[in-house]
Each structure stands twice: as structure tokens, then as C-alpha cells.
Amino acid sequence: MRLWKVILGLIFFLLLTGGLWQIKGHIVQAQNDQFVFLNIDPIYETMMKRDILCLMMSYPEYILDVEKNEEGKVHIIMKSGNKLLYDDGKEKNQAQKSATPDLQDMMEQVYPLGKIAELLPTHYNPGCVRHYPLLKEVYGANKTQIKSNLAKVSIGYKFVEFNRKNEAAQALSSVMKDLLPIARQNYKIYGASFPSSGTFNYRLIGSTSRLSSHAFGMAIDLNAHKNDYWKWNTRDDGQKRLDSYPQVIVQIFEKYGFVWGGKWGNFDIMHYEYRPEIILKARHFSEKPIPGLPWYEGLQNNQEAWRYIWLIEQKI
């Protein structure tokens, strides 16, 4: 109780005195009972520009513009005209970031490309935070819309339903063209891949009120194993499963924009999810910004990227 009094007293003092402090990379001042954003830390600004570039490149048909309003808040502008806030300025723990994320929360944890030898820490789940307003803009706002966007994709022995929007179904088809030939020649790869445990399924994530990525038709579970899921077994058993898992499967899925649930601390080894923005950031911006280099370092020769880089530089 005493701690709450101290916190409330500090807030009251700052509001009275116009004190300065920092919230999520912003220098903030209290003026006339309101929080005013004065400027942005250069590292934070670089990370924001990188995130928005990855989003615009990953959803080119849906994200048309970006704007910074008079309060200093940045939004991406969707094809529908809706504006999605990049950063709400709220401090959150990991559970809150999953429950009520902004775009910055979704992009914050960098996905580790390449082979991993150990399970990630339980708090590290890159790609597990999903910004539902964005997903609904792209893949469908409700069950009816999502179902109308589903396409049939061959996975060798049968067809499965996957969302055709944003080339998700095409990406899964490309995965299968690479995966099937090697799976047919290697029983370990085939056994880890088939039969599939499912794609589209309009359902909630267990013990939450949030839609699963399967509900949007943008995820596939391969052949399920008893040690695949963090709620089914111990981390020791999950580690044994990771040790034996043929990660060439992972490399193929990542090549086409899918993240792997085996690279979540709350592991889901059978799960692959189409998240091109997460993979794009991992490829180009996995390291912290280096002072003196442009924020878009590594994409100078990418003609597709330059259109968005110019727009971001003009608007933010």
C-alpha cells in the first residue's frame, strides 16, 4: 500500500512540475494534466522505422501509407482507411503484450534464423504476439470472411485449406514443393512432417479469449509428437524432441516467410505460421543499429525497399 502512495505521489508531482521522464523511447513531459511527447530517442526511432519498413514490405497490398500526428504518434494506414497505432506508449509485461499488443510489441522480439541447439527462454517467443487488427485487415475480419479467402493447397497426399491473401497459400505451396522430395527420401523428415495435424480451424488459443493463428488459415501443424507442446510435457522432454528434430524442415519454412513454434520458449514444435514481417526483420535487422550507418543498412540495393524507405523518411 505504501508503494502505491509513493507512485501516486510521484505522478502528482510530475504533473504539477512539468517533470521530464522516458516512456518506451520517448522523452515525455507533463503539461496541463496531459502527457506530451517532446522527442524520440535515436535508437528507438531507428527500430520503429525498421519495424514499419518490414511491415510495409510484408503487406504491400494492405499497408498504403504511414503518418505521424501532432502528438508525435505514428500510425500505419491500411487499404481500408483504418489507422493502426505503432506504439501506444504503455509499459507492459509479456502477458499484457500478448493480450493487448500494439505493432511495436508484435515486432519487438527478434526471431533467430538458423539452427538452434537449445530451447529459448520461456519469456522469449518471437512471432507469438499477434496484432489482431492487422490480421483481420489482411486475412478476414470474421469467420465468414476468412472462409471465403481459403484456398486448397496440396501437401502431397491431400489438400488442405490455407488463406490465399497476402500470398500465404502460395507460400505454403512453395514450401511443399521443396519439402516433399526430401521427405520422400528421408524417413525422419517424412515422419516429422506427415500426416499434418491441421491448418484452418476457427478456434481460440487454449485458456485465452484470443483467436489462434489457425483461425485465420495462416498456420499449419505438422505431424504431432507427445513432446511437441510446452503444455503437454516438460522442458527436458521438449529439449529431447528438439535434439532429434530435422531442422532442414525449419529452413524450408523460414525461406518462404514462416516462423517455427520450436523457436518459442513456450515451444510448439509442430507449429509453423506465416509471418513474413517477422522473418524479414530477422534477415535484415537482427542486430542493433550501428551509429553512423543508415537505419536501413543492408537494404540500400533493394529497389522494392527503397520506395518504402523514402516514404518513411518523408513521413516520420
- What pLDDT does 283 receive? 97
* Cβ–Cβ under 8 Å, residues 171 and 257: yes
Tell me the C-alpha distance between 202 and 223, whole Å: 20
How far, rounded to the nearest angstrom, does the alpha carbon of residue 147 sit from its chain's CA centroid?
22
The one-character DSSP state at 63 is E
* Cβ–Cβ under 8 Å, residues 244 and 217: no
Q: Which CATH architecture has domain 103-282?
A: 2-Layer Sandwich (3.30)
- What pLDDT does 26 receive? 52
pLDDT in tens, the chain (316 residues): 455 554 545 544 444 445 444 556 555 555 555 545 545 688 999 999 999 999 999 999 999 999 999 999 999 999 999 999 999 999 999 899 999 999 999 999 999 999 999 999 999 999 999 999 999 999 999 999 999 999 999 999 999 999 999 999 999 999 999 999 999 999 999 999 999 999 999 999 988 999 999 999 999 999 999 999 999 999 999 999 999 999 999 999 999 999 999 999 999 999 999 999 999 999 999 998 888 899 999 898 899 999 999 999 999 9
The identity of residue 227, as a single letter, is N
Tell me if residue 225 falls in helix, strand or coil.
coil
- What pLDDT does 6 receive? 47
* Cβ–Cβ under 8 Å, residues 299 and 254: no
Tell me the C-alpha distance between 270 and 171, whole Å: 18
Q: 6 to each of 11, 184, 268, how far by Cα in Å? A: 9, 65, 42
pTM of the full structure: 0.87
Map out the domains of the chain as residue ranges: 1-40, 103-282
